[in-house]
Chains A and B, each alone.
Chain A
Amino acid sequence: MEVYLDNSATTKAFLEVAELVKKLMCEDYGNPSSLHRKGVQAENHLRYAKETFAKILKVSEKEIYFTSVGTESDNLALIGCALANRRKGMHLITTQIEHPAVLQTMKYLESLGFRVTYLPVDRSGCIRLEDLKNAMTAETILVSIMHTNNEVGSLQPIAEAGELIKRMNPSTLFHVDAVQGFGKAKIYPKKMHIDLLSASGHKIHGPKGVGLLYIQEKVKIQAINYGGGQQMNLRSGTENVPGIAGMAKAAELLYGSLDQDLEQLYRCKQHFIDGVRRIEGVQVNGLPDCKCVERTAPHVVSVSFAGVRSEVLLHALEEAGIYVSAGSACSAHKPQPSATLKAMGVDPKLLSSTIRFSFSVFTTMEELDYTLQVLYDKIPMLRKYTRRA
């Protein structure tokens, strides 16, 4: 049995998406900037994709831009806005638990002279609005807060934060990294006071190599790459039409049945958490007892198994055909304790014993029961053979 529980790293594409991508690569392969019919055809696919996202986010299609990947969307949003608005102030706010795509970009902006405040989080992995309020100054030009944390699945109070930011300083821009949240939650930038929003194709059963950036019409932003002037001069380069259309198709499918899917995902999550808690010495991160699963992301479960090294457990599960992640896949290249878990105050001893299980609409109860059974078998064995002090 093969069980893929690493959907926060990437997802399997919907078959419809793969077929559409193939069609656009082999048949409607024109360059949307070309004047002939082939180009117009490609442009139509592009327009349709923009309309799709505009409808889902309840924004105007003029406000939809495409990039090569979620990381690029974050880079463009943060660097583009910081540079274009630096005369208004040099202060930025973000959180300690952002994805490296935001954190490292903030580090770069610091090197350019910007001042950055990193908001702490509580035990459940959420920022406190009080901290945000205290961090805001007249010089704050941009706040960037992730929608869903990629490591533990905590949901940030986006709507409340948006309202707070605009009340305190209407000219402060609000960017939301929704790479993990898009496709699993209803996100309406206009209602939530979001000025910029990043999303990624391959996290929602679409193709890799395509990202989305919503930019509210009035936002002052400058390009960070230069070339042929595509996408209103903001993001030069021939549009990845197959990728963009594929991502739009995936979003369309996901949002078409979002309510039922969410219900099923939360049922799976609750079932899995109940099952995993039956193992001794286990801690589910980001879910203090008082909190119900519905207030966390539907697809991420972070579990610490005391006395078991996560890398070893990961490979032991792999032997049973189960694919999971130790921390987040993006940081597996440089094994270091997760900044998110540290910020949440997780016991340092558990930092290297943490596994992330992440689900998708393809995940079944049967797969989760199989996974639980494998965990029941393997955990005691792995605990028997450990590095003795």
Chain B
Amino acid sequence: MFTAFLIKYAEIGIKGRNRHLFEDALVHQIKYALKKCEGKFLIHKTQGRIHVDACSAFDFDEVVEHLQLVFGISGICPVVSVEDEGFEKLCDTVVDYIAKVYPEQNQTFKINARRARKDYPKDSMEINADIGEAVLNAYPQMRVDVHNPDILLNIEIREKIYMYSEIIPGPGGMPVGTGGKAMLLLSGGIDSPVAGYMIAKRGVKIDAVYFHAPPYTSDRAKQKVVDLARIVSKYTGPIYLHVINFTDIQLYIHEKCPHEELTIIMRRYMMRIAEHLAKENECLGLITGESIGQVASQTMHSLIATNEVCELPVYRPLIGFDKQEIVEVSEKIGTFETSILPYEDCCTIFVAKHPVTKPNVNVIRRHEHNLDEQIDALVKTALETDELIIVE
């Protein structure tokens, strides 16, 4: 029955002269999302709206499901479009529409007509009144309520006639690509995919880096990260995932630095490498899944120590979240099941029994000097052997 969707967008509407940029990005993201759906679609902008017209048979549920992944969409309205075959025919169509969409007719309604084609024989008020009457005649149990109707039926008279009444909620946010790009530190855990999702929701395109430590972490652990990136990419579009071999750096730190500080120093090098990759790839910031106090390396003291090695801002969207709240989002976006697969990641292999929770930055810096002899060369090798995986 439905042959098109009207896309409502929230925040974009208020952007002034940049508005067309946001709309173009949204059209682009919608095209990307619908590429995976059966059928052909025409996506176009008209008068402050985006229309998705189906040009062939399509699977309604599949399309809605994919549109619900596109940031920037606040609502998805399934639209029925008919040729103009006279007013009486239009009344019949509306009555028919109500029967199909609202099997339960004991509801209040309002007709909201818009006449874009001014040569139509009736004006909006007349259309509202006359169609309303037709509906009341057909369904005596329905009542009109112009202030707070259960059903708000929009009818637009253009070249064709469009009607819609349902608004399926979209994910909100802003179209990916309108907010620049950032580098996500992606581990195999629960938090980092959620962090990437949240920043992407604000229109930011995501690149990602994963630190691989063979033989301490397995190919399955790496595959798990690729799988997580793939799930996140449903929302963000293709993700460029950098896989950095971190083993030698990790072993070198293990050998030269106090064991309680291993994790902090390791994370400092991860941040440095991530920042290097970020700058090379025009990213404007780093994203981590840190949350205050979750583990030793995420206390405020530890965050000072890991934060100071970067010039770029580090975005930590989960910083005030409890674990349970993070889990809820990860379940919603579909990463949870994959995140909890039991493969060890490189942060946990050598972790000390009692890592420092309040590292002193000066002490950390001093101990890092133990690494002077070889660390630059090791970092350089790690960057040179960067493996790039394009995930989509």
Most A CB within 10 A of own CB, among B251, B259, B349, B352: B349
User: Cβ of A87 < 8 Å from any Cβ of B?
Assistant: no
Taking a contact as CB atoms under 8 Å apart, the answer to whether A387 and B215 are in contact is no
Q: Are B350 and A387 in contact (CB under 8 A)?
A: yes
Let me know if B214 and A311 touch, CB within 8 A. no
B48 interface residue per 8 A CB criterion: no
In the complex with contacts A311-B344, A335-B342, A385-B254 CB distance below 8 A: yes
B120 interface residue per 8 A CB criterion = no
Q: Is the CB of A315 within 8 A of B214?
A: yes
CA distance A299 to B324 in the complex (A): 48
Bound-state Cα–Cα, A387 to B350, Å: 5
Complex CA gap A315/B216 in Å reads 7
Counting CB contacts under 8 A, is B353 at the interface?
A: yes
Instruction: Find out whether the CB atom of B251 lies under 8 angstroms from the CB atom of A316.
Output: no
A316-B352 contact, Cβ under 8 Å, with A311-B344, A335-B342, A388-B259: no
Asked if A387 and B344 make an inter-chain contact with CB atoms under 8 angstroms apart, the answer reads no
Within 8 A of A (CB), among B304-351: 342, 344, 349-351
Chain B nearest CB, measured from A337 CB (Å): 14
| Chain B residues, CB < 8 A from A387 | 349-352
Whose C-beta in chain B lies nearest to the C-beta of A378?
Answer: B215
Interface residues of B in 61-80 (CB under 8 A from A): none
Q: Is the CB of B216 within 8 A of A389?
A: no
Interface residues of A in 292-324 (CB under 8 A from B): 311-316, 318-319
Interface assignment of B218: CB less than 8 Å from any CB of chain A: yes
A213-B284 Cα distance, complex, nearest whole Å = 64
| A385-B215 contact in complex given A311-B344, A334-B342, A335-B342, C-beta closer than 8 Å | no
Which residues does chain B contribute within 8 Å of A315, judged by CB atoms? 214-218
The answer to whether B215 touches A312 (Cβ under 8 A) is yes
State the CA gap A312–B344 with chains docked (Å).
10
Min CB distance, A65 to chain B, in Å?
A: 36
The CA of A389 and the CA of B352, in the complex, are separated in Å by: 7
Total interface residues in chain B, CB < 8 Å:
16
Q: Which residue of B lies closest to A318 (CB)?
A: B215
Q: Give, as a whole number of angstroms, the nearest-CB distance from B350 to chain A.
A: 6
Distance, CA A109 to CA B349, complexed state (A): 40
Q: How many angstroms between the C-alpha atoms of A316 and B216 in the bound complex? A: 8
- Tell me which residues across on chain B come within 8 A of A316, comparing CB atoms: 215
Contact call A319/B214, Cβ cutoff below 8 A: yes
With CB as the reference atom, state the residue of chain B lying closest to A381: B251
Which A residue sits closest to B218, measured CB to CB?
A: A315
Output the least CB separation between A109 and chain B (Å).
Answer: 28
CB-based nearest B residue for A313: B215
Whether A319 touches B215, Cβ cut-off 8 Å, given contacts A335-B342, A385-B254, is yes
Please name all residues of chain B whose beta carbon is closer than 8 Å to the beta carbon of A385 when the two chains form the complex.
Answer: 251, 254-255, 350
Taken together as a complex, chains A and B put the C-alpha atoms of A318 and B222 apart, in Å, by 15
Question: Who on chain A is nearest to B247 by CB?
Answer: A385
Residues in chain A near residue B342, CB distance under 8 A: 334-335
Query: Shortest beta-carbon distance, B371 to chain A, in Å?
Result: 15
Quick one: which of A322-357 are within 8 Å of B by CB?
334-335
**B250's closest neighbor in chain A, by CB?**
A385
Give the complex CA separation of A318 and B350 in angstroms: 20
Measured between C-beta atoms, what is the minimum distance from B114 to chain A in Å? 58
Which B residues are in CB contact (< 8 Å) with A311?
A: 218, 344
CB proximity to B under 8 Å, residues A341-389: 385-389
Q: How far is the CB of B252 from chain A (nearest CB, A)?
A: 10
Give the docked Cα–Cα distance between A105 and B112 (Å): 64
* Minimum Cβ distance to chain A for residue B260 (Å): 10
Contacts of B254 in A (CB 8 A): 385
- A100 to B251 CA separation, bound complex (whole angstroms): 38
Q: CB-CB < 8 A to B353: which residues of A?
A: 388-389
In the docked arrangement, what's the CA distance between A312 and B216, Å? 5
Residue ID in chain A nearest B349 by CB atoms: A387
Within residues 241 to 270 of chain A, which ones have a CB less than 8 A from any CB in chain B?
none
CB nearest to A315 among chain B residues: B215
Residues of B within 8 A of A389 (CB): 353
CB contacts under 8 Å to A, within B214-272, are 214-218, 251, 254-255, 259
A315 to B343: give the CA distance in the assembly, Å. 13
A353: min CB distance to chain B, Å: 15
Q: Could you list 26 A-B pairs, sorted by A, with CB under 8 Å?
A: A311-B218, A311-B344, A312-B215, A312-B216, A312-B349, A313-B215, A314-B215, A315-B215, A315-B216, A315-B217, A315-B218, A316-B215, A318-B215, A319-B214, A334-B342, A335-B342, A385-B251, A385-B255, A385-B350, A387-B349, A387-B350, A387-B352, A388-B259, A388-B350, A388-B352, A388-B353
* Given A388-B259, A389-B353, 15 additional A-B pairs, CB 8 A: A311-B218, A313-B215, A314-B215, A314-B218, A315-B214, A315-B215, A315-B217, A318-B215, A335-B342, A385-B251, A385-B254, A387-B349, A387-B351, A388-B350, A388-B352
- A interface list, Cβ under 8 A from B: 311-316, 318-319, 334-335, 385-389
